Amino acid sequence: MTHIRDIHFCAIDFESAGATRGETDAPVQIGLANWSINTGHSDPWVTYLHVDREIHWSASKIHGITRADLANAPTLLSLWPELSQKLGNSWVVAHGKGTEKRFLRSFPGHRFGPWVDTLWLARAAWPDAPDHSLGSLCENLGLTEKIRTLVPTRLWHDALFDAVASLVLLEHLITTQQLQNHPAEILLHPNTSRWTRNKRT
């Protein structure tokens, strides 16, 4: 049995070009960050990504990334050696993992994971929270200042900032819920029944 205290977590976040109906979205930035109970926060990594399309104004309005930022940026596929090394031996963390898993399908059969979704963990831990978005949770739980200390030159909707934020949220949840010595598998299937009931009322 593997316990939470023995797991190495690597968080991943993508920012995207945005898409309209009928279009396929594409990533324009990727951020990774690492955390474990034994080693703390470490190895932040971020890069812009080359795409052969324009960035939608609605997406750029959120994350501030423009085509000029992508000049000379690598393609996602070219980063396979680095991503394989960074993600291959970790439990992968994301807040709402759907986007991250979808973009990583560029690498068929990569087998990254297990995946820890801090969105679902937060819904299980704090079902009465008015908003379970990453920014709102971190603000309401008083975690934003710690995130800014870890990545002082970045802001919300930057891929590295958001990756670090999901790790800080995970750390807070594990610490406050005293989960360090629990089986790690409990992070994979959180009980969100109370949150579900709240949504129905």
Q: How many CB atoms lie within 10 A of CB 168?
A: 25
CB 162 within 8 Å of CB 31: yes
Q: Which residue in 23, 9, 28, 37 sits closest to 68, CA to CA?
A: 28
**Does 108 have pLDDT greater than 90?**
no
What range does the domain containing 38 cover? Answer: 4-200
What residue ranges in the chain does DSSP mark as E strands? 9-16, 27-36, 40-48, 91-94, 115-117
Residue range 16-30: mean pLDDT, rounded: 86
Beta strand pairing call for 40-48 and 27-36: antiparallel
Closest CA to 9 of 32, 35, 33: 35
Element counts in the chain: helices (H) and strands (E) = 8, 5
Report pLDDT for 109.
Answer: 82
CB contact at 8 A, 134 and 118? yes
pTM (two decimals): 0.95
> What average pLDDT does the chain have?
94
Average pLDDT over residues 143-162: 97
Number of domains composing the chain:
1
The CATH number of residue 94's host domain is: 3.30.420.10
Q: Residue 115's pLDDT band (boundaries 50, 70, 90)?
A: very high
